[in-house]
Structure 1
Amino acid sequence: MNTTKDTTSEKKGFVTRILDSVERIGNKLPDPAILFFGLMLLIWVLSALFSSVQFSEIDPSTGEAIQIHNLLTSAALAKFLSGMVTTFTSFAPLGIVLVAMLGVGVAEHSGFINAGLKSMLKVTPKKLLTPMLVLVAIVSHTATDAGYVLVIPLGGIIFYAAGRHPIAGIAAAFAGVSGGFSANFVPSGIDPLLQGFTQSAARIIDPAIQLNPLNNWYFTSASTILIVLIGWYVTDRIVEPRLKKVPVVVEEGEEVNMGALDKKEKKAFYTACLAMILGLIGLFFWAFPEDSALRDAEGEITSFSAPLMQSIVPLIFIIFLIPGVVYGMMSKTFKTSKDIIESMTKSMSGMSYYIVMAFFCALFIDAFAKSNLGALLALKGASGLQALNLPAQITIVGIIVLTGFVNIFIGSASAKWALIAPIMVPMLMQLGISPDLTQASYRVGDSVSNIITPLMPYFPLVVVYCQKYVKGTGIGTLVSTMVPYSIAFFVLWTIFLLVYWALGIPLGLQASYEYIAP
């Protein structure tokens, strides 16, 4: 009798039963569109109930006590109706998804992406497919939200082409793009954005303090290795084995043909790749000069205000459109210009369900922001943590837990930190903990719960990606698939930060662990 095997089997059975329960309960929730609509109505009611309550928490943006705004007044409802169209059309993820998918759709339906996958899978060992996908997903943060519309759907295609379950590929990519959001060895616009809030909060105690925008760069770089390893293990050992019994159904015309490329296809693929490379070279020479129009007023190219960073999605459209058209024309999958437009139409038809969900999601997020309930939740949590007056290490863990919880309701990293930083940064400075370390703990918490909250703007989009292969995919299915990643990231990343701190490894440029008052 093999006791070890029996125990392992029981443990796996228990984990599977828990995840199956999460999936079953989650899938009993209403359709995501109805869920967002119901949550919007709930926010309206809560805003009316709490609007007359006086709170002691100070809103950092106004310097006054937080006030909940009643959304059920006659004026508020009139404003809601008059602004409904604008609220929907200005919903940032909607434009990002649709514009990017126009270009990606051309590249996909022309066969260019399929040809690229065939070439990639020939040189990538099957065992390294998962870590490579997670790593690419992590690096995609550099291009803001590009990973959501590019890397995640490609994760499903890559796994399906390799004979693996496509939902596992989507999950691995989603874990890297969103769950490992704060892990990246390539600096991005989020670094100076968060540093700005941290420095402002730190100056409440020390008006002369200066923080480097890359004050967490070493830590986020090291975290890349950790997230890749965790994502690799969870995908191959937990998520994919659980998906073995889930049948994959692909619509006619969407199958991935993994036969070898013929001479015509090879010539078309290499020419299309050359067109893409030439486009990237042209972009490089456009952006390289210090006075380039693609840089911001200070000459920075990676800041959020830089035209290049604001043009990421249009660039994705162009960079995939050009090789897609070249490949399609040379391989004869596109015979006329009408075929190019039809490929875009097919791409948009697949987004129709997401557009409906995005409409209700936009209304809910707008109501939640206008009510100020999210700000109250964040400030209450931060004040409660402050009142506990815990030891430094436990307080750092507390910030991670608090941020992860608030993150379920407030998706924006900068919005959360703008609320929490003015409380937590000065408090920990008085305990001798540097703003750099406080910010690092926030960044961990800001990442780990992204992948399990249906309120995250891109969550419904990932559900749509999954439905391409498993029609019955719902909120519960995706949440139960991502829970193992979220738990593993939270536990191991928190431990990693504490060990990193204990060893005294530098957090980033000009960063420290201790704050010594001048």
Structure 2
Amino acid sequence: MKQKGILKWIETVGNKLPHPFVLFIILCGVLMVVSAILAAMDFSVTHPAKGEEVAVKSLLSVEGIHWILTSMLKNFIEFPALGLVLAMTLGIGLAEKIGLLTTVLRKMMAGIPAAVVSYAIVFVGILGNLASDAAMVIIPPLGGLVFLAMGRHPIAGFAAGMAGVSSGFTANFFIAGTDALLAGISTEVAKTIDPNAMVTPVDNWFFMSASVVILAFFGGWITDKIIEPRLGTYHGDRNVQFEKVTPQENKALRKAGIAALIFVLMVGLLVIPEGSLLRDPKTGDFLTSPFLKGIIPIILLFFVTVSFVYGRAMGLIKTSKDIPHYMSEAIKDMSGFIVLAFTAAQFIAFFNWSNIGILMAVNGAEYMTSMGLTGLPIIIAFTLFTGICSLFITSGSALWAILAPVFMPMLMLLDYNPAFIQVAYRIADSATNTISPVNPYIPLFLAFYQKYNKNAGMGTIFSTMTPFAIVFLVVWILQLTAWYFLDLPFGPGVYAR
């Protein structure tokens, strides 16, 4: 009851805040004042990675005001989530509006035991991170639809997908672009202590593969035992039903399935063979390939292709006007997100331009190094500190570029493997993603929440996702501790020391 009370308090306090659109405007104003005060006090730090002096810049200075006026449209247009969400909405929205997603879900329901559906959604969400940010747009809404079709609360299903995609971001059975990106930063920093040091993309593979199963179990348990009981019974419209799939729908699904298979095979032929079109033209590498960099338009084309085939088979797409009509209807549903994204983009851009995030991270890191901890406690303290920093710097690579030059040399001198230090960073940076106030996908999450609960606010999101963030972080720290004491490999030939 105490836990439920705390979560209820978070939701109540959070929802008493102004509408998120207004809230971000207020936060921008506060940030402007704070930046002016810190700049007047000459606050600055040395950037650990670049070795350059970074000073807090005042948003109320002449330079700051000029930047605000000249960058406002750029901030909005280049908002990380905007183009991705709208592009994916064109494809997924088309599939939803013609009924393809509903039919697939009804087909799936017959084969998924109700007892494991929560665990399956978190599991798929974690693996879906291979598609990078595109998974943010695809999997949580599908989780909501699955729960809705099963007569359960759709927000619980959405939260399960969101937890897998966001808080479980760094775990996977497969080597992803994140592994290569972080390994590159780690190697560069580690060489300052050991010129022969090398962190490869597979050095965390064993640990992260085990994390998929562990987090999927706890994520499903949280959904069933904590989140859904809090939400109660859903009384809204249920537009996903359990009716039996008709022969015409089955036939259309078969055609769409064939189209999907052909699409995947064609992409495979363009990716798998060495020297193929979608490989890195310079190195032939997969992790830096145009395929992974262009995964969003590829997924968009996939949805458009299978939706077109399904729509034609169902008689829903007859002329060239039908496809843009369904896409337009889907975009209309995202109007609230577009409006909210404008002010959210400004706040995040203000925060980054002022250098306040870097100031917080570097000063916090220096304080950590002065604490004098040794052994496993210093690793856990580093992990917890990372979790706090990641609430304000959402780019995992940017935060690692700030923290690695400070902590990696110190911890390597304590005989820790740089790949082990990288794991301690990754678990904290991932776990708190869903409760970060500067997460660029917060407006998107809120738009989906309000689809099922028009009174939902920021407090609803944070109260729903806090149990996932806390439990994932605690479980990951326990897993890290177990790996440490049992001397298990984090990757091929990689141990803690």
* Residues 379 and 424 in structure 2, CA contact (< 8 A), matched pair in contact too: yes
* Residues 122 and 216 in structure 2, CA contact (< 8 A), matched pair in contact too: yes
Shift of 1:66: 3.0
| 1:255-404 superposed matches below 5 A | 255-296=239-280, 297-303=282-288, 306-404=289-387
Q: Equivalent residue of 1:403, what SS?
A: helix
Q: Equivalent residue of 1:41, what SS?
A: helix
Select which of 193, 210, 213 maps to 1:225.
213
Shift of 1:14: 1.9
| 1:18-417 superposed matches below 5 A | 18-54=6-42, 57-245=45-233, 247-250=234-237, 255-296=239-280, 297-303=282-288, 306-417=289-400
Residue 276 of structure 1 aligns with an amino acid whose one-letter code is A
Question: Structure 1 132/435 Cα, relative in aligned 2: closer, same or farther at 3 Å?
Answer: same
Q: Equivalent residue of 1:472, what SS?
A: coil
* Residues 197 and 417 in structure 1, CA contact (< 8 A), matched pair in contact too: yes
Residue 188 of structure 2 aligns with an amino acid whose one-letter code is S
* Residues 45 and 55 in structure 2, CA contact (< 8 A), matched pair in contact too: no
Distance 1:380 1:509 in 2: 35
Residue 228 of structure 1 aligns with an amino acid whose one-letter code is A
Deviations 1:408-450 (A, max 9, x none): 1111000100000000000001111121111100011101111
TM-score for the superposition, normalised by structure 2: 0.97
Q: Equivalent residue of 2:489, what SS?
A: coil
* Residues 55 and 65 in structure 1, CA contact (< 8 A), matched pair in contact too: no
Distance 1:421 1:46 in 2: 27
Distance 2:125 2:11 in 1: 25
Shift of 1:104: 0.5
Deviations 1:259-304 (A, max 9, x none): 111111111111011111111111001112211231222111123x
The CA RMSD measured in Å over matched residues stands at 1.4
Distance 2:420 2:41 in 1: 35
Deviations 1:72-114 (A, max 9, x none): 2223212221222122111121000000110111111111111
Identify the range of structure 1 (131-140 vs 203-212) with the bigger mean alpha-carbon deviation. 203-212
* Residues 488 and 495 in structure 2, CA contact (< 8 A), matched pair in contact too: no
Deviations 1:140-191 (A, max 9, x none): 1111111111001101001101111101100100110001112111110000
Residue 341 of structure 2 aligns with an amino acid whose one-letter code is A
Distance 2:484 2:59 in 1: 45
- Confirm or deny that 1:481 pairs with 2:488: no
Q: Equivalent residue of 1:214, what SS?
A: coil
Identify the range of structure 1 (50-59 vs 280-289) with the bigger mean alpha-carbon deviation. 50-59
Residue 405 of structure 1 aligns with an amino acid whose one-letter code is I
Residue 458 of structure 2 aligns with an amino acid whose one-letter code is I
Shift of 1:129: 0.9
* Residues 155 and 449 in structure 2, CA contact (< 8 A), matched pair in contact too: yes
Distance 1:108 1:353 in 2: 18
* Residues 435 and 465 in structure 2, CA contact (< 8 A), matched pair in contact too: yes
Deviations 1:201-247 (A, max 9, x none): 212212232222211111111111110011011011111111114x4
Distance 1:188 1:62 in 2: 26
Residue 338 of structure 1 aligns with an amino acid whose one-letter code is K
* Residues 399 and 445 in structure 1, CA contact (< 8 A), matched pair in contact too: no
Distance 1:435 1:172 in 2: 32
Question: Structure 1 65/86 Cα, relative in aligned 2: closer, same or farther at 3 Å?
Answer: closer
TM-score for the superposition, normalised by structure 1: 0.93
Q: Equivalent residue of 2:452, what SS?
A: coil
Q: Which runs of 5+ in 2 are unaligned?
A: none
* Residues 212 and 510 in structure 1, CA contact (< 8 A), matched pair in contact too: no
Residue 298 of structure 1 aligns with an amino acid whose one-letter code is T
Distance 1:295 1:60 in 2: 34
Q: Give the fraction of aligned pairs with identical amino acids, expressed as a percent.
A: 38
Q: Which runs of 5+ in 1 are unaligned?
A: 1-12
* Residues 94 and 355 in structure 1, CA contact (< 8 A), matched pair in contact too: yes
Shift of 1:512: 2.8
| 1:413-424 superposed matches below 5 A | 413-424=396-407
Distance 2:365 2:235 in 1: 45
Q: Equivalent residue of 1:66, what SS?
A: strand
Select which of 439, 444, 451 maps to 1:468.
451
